[in-house]
Structure formats: structure tokens, C-alpha cells
A = this chain, B = another copy of it.
Amino acid sequence: MPANQQILLDNRPAGEAVASNFKLVTSDTPELQDGEVLVRHHFLSLDPYMRGRMNDAKSYTAPQPLGQVMGGGTVGEVVQSRSPKFQPGDQVAGMGGWQQYSVVKADQPGALRKVDTSQVPLSHYLGAVGMPGVTAWYGLVKIIQPQAGETLVVSAATGAVGSAFAALAKARGCRVVGIAGGPEKCGYAVAELGFDACIDYKQHNNAASLSKALKAACPDGIDGYFENVGGMVLDAVLLRMNAFGRIAVCGMIAGYDGQPLPLAHPALILTNRLKVQGFIVSEHMDVWPEALAELGMLVGTGKLRPRESVAQGLEAAPEAFLGLLKGKNFGKQLVKLI
């Protein structure tokens, strides 16, 4: 069996996460038992939710245990199998974690699924045609419930979720405005991702200023907002929401380090009769087939062309992850493991 590089959570962040929270080790891969499959990971997904799990706090997922392999989505290839369900050579997606190989019980529901790479590149099953894509789909379709002609806004616009959101929203006849950091990302959002406009939040140092820019980009107000960041951006968007607007709360990356992140004007929820709803896509597995079908079609037909930031080698994962938390990635953040 191959040696297996792994990254463990060694200690929890005190405030900001740092590279020394992680530890790289090499372990032996155990022999397969009946029903098990050995997967060699080609790509590891890095996602903002992982930061929440590094804290030892009540949240929607259990904390990442100390001394164990960091959890995370992976795509790869079956290299050995003692299950009739999988053959060596099968391309698969699963939750293999921050390591080169994983041993998976093939019968465990949802543990491993075969993917078709004839139309969709393998790595996209970690992004546009995976959890981030379904996240965008759920927030848009089930919470925002858009009507054609409405104006929708998404923060972290050029990320895996934001880019899928844009394609899904345009397919429904909406105006879609992004918020992203820096002119390069904003230009890309409009030129390549189909956004009607994109606002560079780094040009604004308070919510009032950002809100003014939103007013210019959304002359008819905002009907739906997909929240990935929280903080100043949420305050600014709230000031521009139309009556009966819907806000899908998917992430509040701005507050993951534990600093206070108050909402300045919650009374706007009342005066504008807003619906603000948090959700976690893994609790809505029933919608995944429908969502993945649409997302696969959008990728297959070129209407969703997601960008990827690829770090090379498992040892690069911690720095790539810390960069993601600061918005340094451009598109879906992956680690290539082969």
C-alpha cells in the first residue's frame, strides 16, 4: 500500500487562522477490508466552511477534531477495490480530506459517487458541478425564488459559488450584480462570468459608500441577495433591498476569525418586509440531483465556465487555504495532488 501524506489539525486558531495550526505527516495506508475502496485523490477542495470547523464552537457542523486529518471534498480515481460497486479506474468524488489517499467504505450512503468526465472536467465536481454549485442553486432557487427581471446581488462573485450563481440567475432572466475584491476580479466577472455589473468593495471603506455604488449598479433596487461574506457588505446591501426582498445567508466569512460582526440596521428587515434565511446545502440532499443536472448542463454548453485557482501539492494546502480566507484566490480554490 502507498505511503499517504496527510494534513492534520494540530491546534485551534486564536483569532486568525495560521499555517502552524496545521501539521503535515506521512502515514501508512491500511490494507483494504471487504467492501472498502482505495481512492487516489487528484484534487482537494478548499472551502470557507472549513474555517468554521477549526473553532471549538457550537456551529452547524461538529468541530474538526484535533490530531485528525482535515475534512474536505476530493475527486480522484479508484486504485484498488474490494467492493463490487467500484472498479480500479473509476473516477469518483467524495469527502476524502486533506490527504493523498483515502480508504472508503463503499456502502456508506453518499461516501463516494462515480462522476462522468466526458463533458465536465474532473475538478469541476468540486466546484460548479459540486457542493459550491449546488449551494448557489439552493440559495437562488429555494430561498431567493427569483422572478425574471428582478435584480440579484452576490458577494464573493468570482468564487465557486458566485460564478455558478451568476449563470443560474442569468438563465432565469435576472439582472445579476457581483461584489468582489479588486478590478481584475470585477472585470473578469463582467467579461467572462456573465455579470451585468460588478462592484469592487475594496474601493469603499464604509457601508454608506458601498451602498451608493450599489445604488448606481442596481437602479431598480435589489430583490435578492446571496450572502457569502457578512459585515460591511451585508450592511450596504440591506440599505438597497426592495420591499419583499429575499436574502439567502450562505456564509459570513468576514466573521470567521471570531471578531464581532454586528448588523447595523436590523430594523430594515421589518421596514422592507425582508426574508433573511440561513441554510447549509448538505441538509438538502434531495435537491442535489436536480441542481447538478442543471449545473452540468450549464458547464457542458459553455454557459458556466468556472475559473480555478490551483495550488500544487498537499504541502501547499495550508497557505492556499489561508489565502482563500483573505480572498486571494481567483475562482474555485483547489489543490492538485498528483
Contact = CB atoms under 8 A, between A and B. Distances in A.
Interface of A: 52, 58-60, 230, 234, 243, 249-252, 255, 260-267, 269-280, 283
B267 A273 contact: no
Given A260-B264, A262-B264, A264-B262, A270 B252 contact: yes
A60 B263 contact: no
A255 B272 contact: no
Contacts of A252: 266-267, 270
Contacts of A251: 270
A251 B277 CA distance: 18
Can you tell how many copies of this chain the complex includes? 2
A252 B272 CA distance: 13
8 contacts: A59-B271, A234-B266, A249-B270, A252-B266, A269-B278, A273-B278, A275-B278, A276-B277
B274 A278 contact: yes
Contacts of A262: 262-266
Contacts of A271: 52, 58-60, 278
Contacts of A276: 269, 274-277
A230 B264 CA distance: 12
Given A262-B262, A272-B278, A275-B275, 4 more contacts: A59-B271, A260-B264, A273-B279, A274-B278
A265 B266 CA distance: 11
Given A263-B263, A267-B255, A60 B272 contact: yes
Contacts of A58: 271
A267 B60 contact: no
A280 B275 contact: no
Given A243-B60, A271-B59, A230 B266 contact: yes
B269 A280 contact: no
Contacts of A265: 261-262
A260 B230 CA distance: 19
Contacts of A267: 230, 252, 255, 261
A224 to B, nearest CB: 14
A283 B273 contact: yes
A244 to B, nearest CB: 9
A39 to B, nearest CB: 31
Contacts of A250: 270
A62 B249 CA distance: 30
Contacts of A279: 273
A272 B58 CA distance: 10
Nearest to A254: B267
Contacts of A266: 230, 234, 252, 261-263, 266
Contacts of A234: 266
A287 to B, nearest CB: 15
